[in-house]
Structure 1
Amino acid sequence: MPRQERPLDPDGDALSQFARGLRKLRANAGSPTYRELARRAHYAAGTLSDAAGGRKLPTLAVTLAYVRACDGDAAEWETVWHALAAELAAENTEPGEREPADDVPYVGLGAFQIEDADRFFGRERVLDELDGKLARHRFLAVFGPSGLDPPVGFVGDLGGVC
């Protein structure tokens, strides 16, 4: 027999209301067990149970998988999720705390694009050296920890370190 869900906080905060809505959606779908819901949603039962736990906002992907597994309206729940995420972010912002700048020097794991060219400067000597080696070799690999000037080594087409 599956264990009972933990009661939601009676204070009725927005996160509890969100969780209450997910639980209602599950009840309207016939109250499938979280194991059955996991099979439908392709997420772990514990992840889906946590989503309706009311302690933290689940990711959008988990929320939408939960909703779809219960035959709910994914577009409606996506709107609700974004509104709640914005509300929670506003609550967690200190007064006077500035918004993160859009012009940060590190773009994360995303690939740098041509419009990021202004972020690359101060490496002209290294780039000239690489360009010269590339003119003499068909293959050139550059390796070493980020930020070293010059990089640890250059590998030419004969496999030797230059």
Structure 2
Amino acid sequence: MSEQRPPLPPFTEETARLKVRAAEDGWNSRDPRRVSLAYTPDSRWRNRAEFVTGREEIVGFLTRKWRREHEYRLIKELWAHTGDRIAVRFAYEWHDDSGQWFRSYGNENWEFDQDGLMARRHASINDLPIAEDERLFHWPLGRRPDDHPGLTDLGL
């Protein structure tokens, strides 16, 4: 029996938006094992200059990431979709061990298999140091509340 992660391709605008929000919610859990289950067992990533293959490497990557990116809060927004592919833009806020805050901006291109698992993820990301009073993402850690503004509403 195959794993399925609805919604499944081909994506409509509505199902692509649901897929993007599900990915945002997963990453905001900061649970590497949970996040890895949204990807194929042999998923291939490019994240900045790092290349990751498979769920175990995804778990290792995310574990390292969230050990250094404290108070991580992410917003993703649908950019485009077609068939089995979705493009998103995103921003997340976090601070390092010294207390320096950052807003990281980026774009991702996703490709899904027929069961709705992500087979490829290509991410380009830039980090902008910000002052704590410049933060815009203030919800409690975890899922972004439905009434919290998205990227467009925040002018990002």
Bigger fraction of residues in strand: 2
Say which structure, 1 or 2, has more relative contact order (CA 8 Å, 6+ apart). Answer: 2
Bigger fraction of residues in helix: 1
Q: Which has the larger radius of gyration?
A: 1
TM-score range, shorter chain: under 0.3
